Structure 1
């Protein structure tokens, strides 16, 4: 059985569209369709429901998909192990990161490339659920995500830091003389926050509910950069992880304040799929996570 046929099958399941799957595999659509037909003939089972377009996987296709994904990952791991037995690690490490962890990406990448200068890093901004799914489908080598709330399963985790939230308002919006803020005065502001599909927002809402509060933001986004841009433009305030304050220039437009009664910190860490043997890229990611030297702001939570 040719590995390429399995790659066609996995790409179609991921993309849900023949043309996009063919483009992802750098082949023509007829080549991909012929390859899928050949795979079905070898297995003696129909894997894909199709008419003139992709409809979905058959029951047999859904059952076969995890094995195809695992077979591809195992061959990739075999090639990496053979290639790096006497030389540096090459290739691209695929990292998924929740938006809250994006400031950590720079520290992780620096530690990774210090030990593996021939590696490149491909970073995708994903939700915690998407990271868990992509690790299970062997579409990521590692993830940066929450470890305690809706924790990912079947992973090896390295805790990196405890996330604290801070309030960000535009200078001149009424908070210039404050050293801290109280939750009632924060919730009285026009807020922009992450949307409810993001785990950070679900954690935030749960902590608010535990204190008898609820929030009704005037704008939502899936990016902290978008939230900060709305605050800078005026008319909104927001709540962001403390790590993002390092990206805001001092003496700038922003007034950044801690909470007088902060919520409990949330642990964020690096995760890789717990499987044996572990891939070379997963091992490199774990080593980099353990080697990260964090700035004082992270160490202090």
Structure 2
């Protein structure tokens, strides 16, 4: 039945039989037959469908929660048995806010050094998507902000503190400054993250507290794109200091701390995993390395 539950979860996730089949690497007729067999086994219709996907039935909505739990438990059982016999192995699916991609690299490296058979799938996603993906068992863990928006039923480990800096060309009037006030960015050529990113919402709050509402002339969900535009022209951006230093190195750019309370405040970034016990061995290893990194950085 597990393969049929995987099919059902894929259809519910994709809202489309064709895309669900592609995601599972099977044909659409095989998928449709599997869903029909699952419905026959359970004795209820799970999905409204005619010529296309029509959504979940009330029974399907309830069954989806069970399907996610059952497949999650089955995956955990497989990992437990495999680690007992062959050592820690398997795949870790981690979704990460763009500003923490360098941080997840350090975490993955630490886990890999101790457990070389563990494989990683790392996805760049907004913070709200990360929480939804965790709840839907689409990922095993996430790296996100811990103290700015509601987290829900998750377990967290702080990894570091983000502080915002202005990133500009060395020819910019801001480049020689020791600090820049938020109010000074009004009317500047700004390149910022898209509004769906929590980093942008943090920046917008800082602008609001400073009494300004500047418009970004470039918006992107890619930090690399923002840095590239700053390096290519007269644009400026505001990013967390750690990722800014990593991406700006060797590009002739200056990093200037933002001043005032809004500039000096920090935002905690950390590991987020589902709140369940026991965790799979791979998740336990991930948590252990996160705690070690927290001890080294002194993150709260």
Q: Secondary structure of the equivalent of 1:219? A: strand
Q: Report if the CA contact (8 A) 1:148-1:267 is conserved.
A: yes
1:240 corresponds in structure 2 to 239
Q: Report if the CA contact (8 A) 1:8-1:35 is conserved.
A: yes
Distance 1:180 1:300, change over 3 A: farther
Please, which moves more after superposition, 270-279 or 71-80?
270-279
* TM-score calculated relative to the size of structure 2: 0.94
2:162 corresponds in structure 1 to 163
Residue 28 (structure 2) pairs with residue 29 (structure 1): yes
1:270 corresponds in structure 2 to 271
2:282 corresponds in structure 1 to 281
Distance 1:271 1:293, change over 3 A: closer
CA distance, structure 2, for counterparts of residue 263 and residue 214 of structure 1: 20
Distance 1:250 1:150, change over 3 A: closer
Shift of 1:251: 5.7
CA distance, structure 2, for counterparts of residue 219 and residue 36 of structure 1: 45
Residue 139 (structure 2) pairs with residue 154 (structure 1): no
Please, which moves more after superposition, 181-190 or 216-225?
181-190
Give per-residue Cα distances to partners, 1:5-41, cap 9 Å, x unaligned: 1011001111111111112222211111011001111
Aligned pairs (5 A) from 1:72-151: 72-151=71-150
CA distance, structure 2, for counterparts of residue 250 and residue 203 of structure 1: 24
Give per-residue Cα distances to partners, 1:105-146, cap 9 Å, x unaligned: 211111111221110111001111111111111111111001
Q: Report if the CA contact (8 A) 1:107-1:294 is conserved.
A: no
Please, which moves more after superposition, 81-90 or 263-272?
81-90
CA distance, structure 2, for counterparts of residue 125 and residue 251 of structure 1: 24
CA distance, structure 2, for counterparts of residue 128 and residue 268 of structure 1: 11
Shift of 1:233: 1.2
Q: Cα RMSD (Å) of the superposition?
A: 1.9
Q: Report if the CA contact (8 A) 2:158-2:268 is conserved.
A: yes
Shift of 1:60: 1.3
1:11 corresponds in structure 2 to 10
Shift of 1:86: 4.0
Q: How many residues align?
A: 298
Shift of 1:276: 1.9
CA distance, structure 2, for counterparts of residue 131 and residue 266 of structure 1: 17
List runs of 5+ in structure 1 lacking aligned partners: none
Q: Secondary structure of the equivalent of 2:216? A: coil
Following TM superposition, the consecutive aligned residue runs of length 4 or more in structure 1 with deviations greater than 3 angstroms are 248-252, 298-301
Q: Secondary structure of the equivalent of 2:74? A: helix
Q: Secondary structure of the equivalent of 1:144? A: strand
Shift of 1:187: 2.7
List runs of 5+ in structure 2 lacking aligned partners: none
